[in-house]
Structure 1
Amino acid sequence: MSVYTGNCFCGSVEIEVSGEPEAMGYCHCESCRKWSAGPVNAFSLWKPESVKVTKGSEKIGHFMKTETSNRIFCTECGGHIMTEHPTWGVTDVYAATIPSLVFKPGLHVNYEDTVLPMHDGLTKFKDMPAEAGGSGVELPE
């Protein structure tokens, strides 16, 4: 089984993910853009039981703007670590947080909100795939 390690910006919080992600891709929604301070968020989705904090759990902060996203960050440096999505049964560990994981994006979600059009041949969902509760509508590049 594959095991990947990562940490926050200052290294106070360390995590470990095991196995393989359920999905990897890009989110273009306004919440992800604002939280990541970038035009797009690169995500890797994991089963919650595959994600462990191995150091610094006492330095973890939480922010829940909505019931669908429990955003987890380091209270020491403010570095973003992951977001738990309890309604979807997955945890988004930001791709940059686990540098040893080879990031292989498979789709774009919430592409109707994009501020950075990306022409990469991947499927662009207007919102989310139908399996994740979205419309399943695909948009052109």
Structure 2
Amino acid sequence: MPLPHSLLCLCGAVNIKLNGQPEARANCHCLTCRDFYGTSMLSATAWLPEQVTVVGGRISTFSHPTKQLSRAFCPRCGDTVFGTNRFGMRVLPNSFVARATGGELPEEMRATMHLFYRHRTIDIQDELPKYLDGWDGQIYDGSSGKP
């Protein structure tokens, strides 16, 4: 399945164009992502800002009141089209991408790791590395993890 280059929000009013490949692909379990995106785990890709452009419609943004995060969404249907993290990367929820590909993610978009696994709300059974915190730290081995 090819990587989609054009993505539409739920109502079709906002069109996002992707260029190239994502810089990172992860399932994030941190409290910030769970709270900010309203999910128990954020499965997403991170892109350089110039690789994700709005080519149709207009977006509204919401900035987190205390953290360096923002979320861009369609003002008509409320669909989150991307977020911006503290590094300035554009974060595309995989659910947004999956809609454009008939419900299945292309291989180039699938998560390659879990981040902040110690903060998970559900256990995940897969073969991906599960970093207890960021990707440069300790990996969950089944006996460590939740304090």
TM-score, normalization by structure 2: 0.79
Superposition pairs of residues 44-59 of structure 1, within 5 angstroms: 44-57=45-58, 59=59
Which residue number in structure 2 is paired with residue 8 of structure 1? Answer: 9
How far 1:35 sits from its partner (Å)? 3.4
Q: 1:65 to 1:110 in 2, by over 3 A?
A: farther
Q: Which runs of 4+ in 1 moved over 6 A?
A: none
Residue identity matched to 1:27: C
8 Å CA contact 2:17–2:54 kept in 1: the answer is: yes
Which residue number in structure 2 is paired with residue 110 of structure 1? Answer: 116
How far 1:3 sits from its partner (Å)? 5.5
Which residue number in structure 2 is paired with residue 70 of structure 1? Answer: 70
**Counterpart-to-counterpart distance in 2, 1:38 and 1:61:** 19
**Counterpart-to-counterpart distance in 2, 1:52 and 1:82:** 10
**Counterpart-to-counterpart distance in 2, 1:19 and 1:94:** 17
**Counterpart-to-counterpart distance in 1, 2:73 and 2:135:** 27
Q: Which runs of 5+ in 1 are unaligned?
A: 131-135
Percentage of matched positions with identical amino acids: 26
Question: Superposition RMSD on alpha carbons, in Å?
Answer: 1.9
Q: 1:63 to 1:20 in 2, by over 3 A?
A: same
8 Å CA contact 2:44–2:93 kept in 1: the answer is: yes
Superposition pairs of residues 80-95 of structure 1, within 5 angstroms: 80-85=80-85, 87-95=86-94
Secondary structure of 2:118's match? helix
Q: 1:140 to 1:68 in 2, by over 3 A?
A: farther
8 Å CA contact 2:61–2:70 kept in 1: the answer is: no
How far 1:107 sits from its partner (Å)? 0.4
Q: 1:51 to 1:114 in 2, by over 3 A?
A: same
* Residue deviations 1:41-83 (CA, integer Å, cap 9, x gap): 11111111100001112x4232323443111112212111111
8 Å CA contact 1:8–1:79 kept in 2: the answer is: yes
Residue identity matched to 2:55: T
Structure with bigger strand share is 1
8 Å CA contact 2:16–2:56 kept in 1: the answer is: yes
**Counterpart-to-counterpart distance in 2, 1:120 and 1:38:** 19
8 Å CA contact 1:28–1:111 kept in 2: the answer is: yes
